[in-house]
Structure 1
Amino acid sequence: MAGKLAVTHTSNELSGDLRRLGFTEYEARVYIQLLRQSPATAYEISKSTGVPRPNTYQALEALAQRAAVLPVSETPVRYVAAKPSELFDAIARQTQTLCSDLAERLSAIAPSADDQYVWTLRGEVAVHDKIHDLISDSREVIWIKAADEVLRRHKAALRAAAERGVETLIVLFGFDADEFRFTDRCRVYIHEGSGVRMGSADNLFTVAVDHTEMLTAALDGEVTAAHSRNRPIVNLAQSLIRHDYYMAEIFARFGPQIDAEFGPHLKALRMACFSPEQIVSFKQKTGL
């Protein structure tokens, strides 16, 4: 009994996913049954699935038109299911082609005004897909402030950008700047000379691309991001990264004097303006 329930549950899940790809309920049930038992006649399929026989014939005809099933005999007509890997590879290619064509045609009728909105992305996959797209589509320059463990997820895209001549500036939370120096056009600086993450802002990932768009993401806990081409907001993201680059250069030259004046990790300055939560985080991460 438990086995039968498990099979039914799995079939329902598969049927639901097939419907998301445009199959009807009956087409999904017929295709799944043919995967289990092929070849089979319409009568046999109808009896096994509980789909009314006229609806079974309609489903088989529709499935045959999309090459999901194939008739292999004439008297009586028996059907076999197409291999799932081949069928869904074909569907994926067709869908991608259609989506690309639609995007191009719809863009042609959309207003040409600059996109001044701030778009919110939610979820790890959506956020990292957008980061990947920004890096992959870059043409001139990428500025990033991020932790090394996050950047590693996008290392291949960053390397490819560097190799096609994109200038890269990275302010790194981490300890090995050379890991991301792919060409002589990659400038990587350890954040404040130490690479230690502290405070809530330092848990953000920020990237600005080609001086035209930016994304900043919170990657701890619920993963969310804001993406925009709005000029003042892009300038704000670039200013954040630019000033951290300034600080990295200043620390490289005057680190001991700065520590003597303000304490390690600018403790005196941070304690004066951090929230109570940020102070706790600072002490935990620095041991001060």
Structure 2
Amino acid sequence: MEITLALQKLGFSEYEARAYVALAQGSSLNGYETARDAGLPRANIYPVLEKLVQRGAARRFETRDGNRYTATLPERLLEHIEAGQRRTLTSARRALATLRVPAEVPAIFNLSGRGEFLSQAESLIESTRNTLLVAIQPPEATALAALLDEARARGVVITTLCMESCPTECGGCQGDIYRYNLAPPGAARWCLLVADATRMLAAAACETEVNAMLTEQPLIVELASAYIRQSLALATLGGAFGECFEGLLSVEARCILDSLYPENGFLAYIKRLAQEPN
């Protein structure tokens, strides 16, 4: 029964939950009537009823025929439980604050499979408070669109790098959207999420598998943030200056930059980033 399961999640035993439901559905019951209506053994009913009284879930009153019991109204019961849990959490918080926990380097968690990746992405996006940097391709953008839209609606500032330079909006990307040619070569798709400059989720996905990692390790978070920001900066500069770059760079600067992009040189790379969608 759904009500008894809900009460059990709040700490009631099964017998306590069933007895409370029986009391709540009757005006006032004695032990025999409660056991009958709840389907409980008569031998166990009085300890169960006394436990409900101690919890504040029931009240006991005496009559000439013996003790009878009534249920606390559900609204009052929930208020009582909520107040008790707040007190418990406050006590636990004070106690735990006295612990001296050694500093640890934040762990890096490896994730495998699309389901695990999407579950962690959902958790990260829902817990983002201020800023979210995103580098993404259409399949993952579509899968995360609703979550990203909810984050934007609650005030999270989202900066999205569409890595496929989509010529038309797919509806998946959210926030401030920048479309540039940065899709990785091969069949794998990339997805980067950096939340509040403190947490990062990165994934490489293809049709058959998804491999991802989740971390709060500052160095890796900063590297992911820098990749998204610097990619946007380079592509924006390439679009703004175009061929003018040739005359702006000194010979020494050109040599250094070309050495960093040995395949076709720096200017070819930056022009490719800034290409208009086809």
TM normalised by structure 1 equals 0.59
Partner of 2:151: 154
Q: 2:44 aligns with which of 55, 59, 64?
A: 55
Determine the C-alpha separation between the residues in 2 that align with 1:59 and 1:222. 52
Give the aligned partner of residue 132 of structure 1.
Answer: 126
* Structure index of larger Rg: 2
Partner of 1:30: 19
> Does structure 2 conserve the Cα–Cα contact (< 8 Å) formed by 1:15 and 1:28?
yes
Q: Which moved more, 1:58-67 or 1:240-249?
A: 240-249
**1:214 equivalenced with 2:200 (yes/no):** yes
Which residue matches 2:54?
65
Does residue 81 of structure 2 align to residue 95 of structure 1? no
2:178 partner amino acid: I
1:143 maps onto 2:133 in alignment:
yes
60, 72, 85: which one aligns with 1:82: 72
* Structure 1 gap segments, 5+ residues each: 1-10, 162-167, 181-187, 267-285
Aligned AA for 2:200? Answer: M
- For 1:175 and 1:255, locate their aligned partners in 2 and report how far apart those are by CA, in whole Å: 27
Percent sequence identity over aligned pairs: 26
| Unmatched tracts of structure 2, length 5 or more | 163-168, 244-266
1:43 Cα offset (Å): 1.2
Q: How many residues align?
A: 233
CA distance in 2, matches of 1:124, 1:90: 37
AA partner of residue 57 (structure 2): A
Report the AA paired with residue 153 of structure 1.
E
Is the contact made by 1:46 and 1:53 (CA closer than 8 Å) also made in structure 2? yes
Decide whether the 8 Å contact of 1:64 with 1:70 is kept in 2.
yes
- Given that residues 29 and 69 in structure 2 are in contact (C-alpha distance below 8 angstroms), is that contact kept between their aligned partners in structure 1? yes
CA displacement at 1:151 relative to structure 2: 1.7
Check conservation: 1:40, 1:78, Cα contact below 8 A.
yes
Shift in alpha-carbon separation, 1:208–1:154, aligned structure 2, 3 A: closer
Residue 8 of structure 2 is aligned to residue 19 of structure 1: yes
Alpha-carbon shift at residue 236 of structure 1 (Å): 2.9
Report which of the two has the higher share of helix. 1
Q: 1:240 aligns with which of 205, 227, 231?
A: 227
Q: Does the Cα contact within 8 Å between 2:117 and 2:203 map onto a contact in 1?
A: no
Cα distance change on mapping 1:113 and 1:232 into 2, 3 Å:
same
Q: Which of 180, 190, 199 is the equivalent residue of 1:192?
A: 180
Cα distance, 1:119 vs. partner? 4.4
C-alpha spacing 1:60/1:132, structure 2 compared with 1 (3 Å): same
Map 1:232-271 to 2 at 5 A: 232-246=219-233, 248-250=235-237, 252-253=239-240
Alpha-carbon distance, 1:89 to partner? 4.4
Q: What is the Cα deviation at residue 155 of structure 1? A: 2.2
Report if aligned partners of 2:108, 2:214 keep a CA contact under 8 Å in 1: yes
Distance 1:125 1:217 in 2: 13
- Which residue of 147, 150, 160 maps to 1:171? 160
Q: 2:263 aligns to what?
A: none
The TM-score with structure 2 as length reference comes to 0.61
User: What is the alpha-carbon distance in structure 2 between the residues aligned to residue 207 and residue 110 of structure 1?
Assistant: 30
